[in-house]
Structure formats: structure tokens, C-alpha cells
Amino acid sequence: MTIAILGGTRLSIALGNKYLSRGEDVVFGVREEFNGKDIEWKILRMQNNKVFGYCEAINKADVVLICCENEYLPLVCECLCSLEKRDKLVVDCTNGNYHPNFDCNTQYIQEQTEYSRVLKAFNNLGLDYPASDPMELVKETYYCGNGDLDKYRVKKIIELIGFKAIDVGSLQNAPLLEAFYHLRKQICDNKTEKVDYHFKLMSV
């Protein structure tokens, strides 16, 4: 299995390093003008087979984790639309800008690409993870999507790197996961003391 992680974000590096440490084949996809200055990106660029453009990384992968900033989602969607075969598993790890009508990035990706195998996971971590979790409180992630087999694969992909995978139903619940993320972020932003704050869904 080859995993493509798209985006020049902290989340991309964090997830990529976790999968690499488990012996998985990982490639990173970034926009053409991206010039990562963090030491992790410099090390990755020294390896000829790790960092590619969005489209090339997607073509090399079986599973695609989208971890890019919102402004680059149209470029990612263009690459997904260019695929001859729609057989890749696509996992949206991002969060749309909050909207009271619950528009969300996952729905945007599916609508723009007409790609059926889109699921959501890892969005509760945020694009700046692990900086968003300095106390290492986040031990789980929530996922949703359609298709029992695809959901099972995403569950295993989550558990592979040590997170508890919590199934929250079909893809129609993706906007709720984004709202959950924004609510946590709003609470953190409004706290006067500088502490990490985390809450989670209760599962039995």
C-alpha cells in the first residue's frame, strides 16, 4: 500500500512520519511553488522518491490523505478529476471555514470531482497538529464515509498509527465533524489562560 499525503502542513509531516515509522510506503504531494523551510521537509527533499506535485503523488498512491490548506483544494480536485481510474481511497483530513449552513470540505471535494470513494478522518487534529496538541491529549480520531469495506480500510489505517478510530456513520455526517472541530477551536480561542483544551465524543 502506498499512501500519498497532500499538503505542506504540519499535519502532513506528522502523519507521514507516523506511517513511515510503521514501515509504510509514503509519498508527499505539494504545490509546485511550495518551499518548506522546516528541517523535516529539507530531509524529505533530499530523497528522490518522497516529494512530488499533487497529481504525481496521487497517481503513485492507493490511499490519498488530503491535508492541505483550503485554498489549494481546487488544485487537488483537478488532479483527482484527471484520474483515468477512480479506484483510490481518498480521505479528507481538513476543515472548511465555518459556515452556519454546514458547508464542508468533504462535500466540496465530492461535488467537484464526482468521486465516490471520499471519506473523512483525522480532521479533529487540525492542520497544525501536533502543535495544536502540546499536552498530547488527543488519542482518537473520528471517521465517516460510505461503503463498509472502505470504512473498514480507513479504520485500519487510523489504528495503524495508534489512534482510536471512532465510526460516526455515513458521509452525510462530515459537516458535523467539522462543526465539532470548530467548536473545540472556538472554546480554546476564548479561554484567557494559556492551556490546552480538548473534549471528545463519548462512545460505548
Q: What is the pLDDT of residues 174-188, one digit of tens each?
A: 998 888 776 666 555
| pLDDT per position as a tens digit, 151-165 | 999 999 999 999 999
| DSSP tally for the chain: helices H, then strands E | 7, 8
Mean predicted confidence (pLDDT) in 23-39:
90
Mean predicted confidence (pLDDT) in 55-81:
96
Residue 29: name the closest of 1, 57, 2, 49 by CA.
57
Amino acid letter at 85?
Answer: K
Instruction: Say what the pLDDT of residue 101 is.
Output: 55
Confidence of residue 204 (pLDDT cuts 50, 70, 90): very low
Q: How far apart are CA 162 and CA 179, in angstroms?
A: 24
Q: How far apart are CA 183 and CA 192, in angstroms?
A: 16
Is the pTM above the cut of 0.85? yes
Q: How many CA atoms lie within 13 A of 51 on its CB side?
A: 19
| pLDDT per position as a tens digit, 76-131 | 999 999 998 888 999 999 998 755 555 799 999 999 999 989 999 999 999 999 98
Instruction: Say what the pLDDT of residue 182 is.
Output: 67
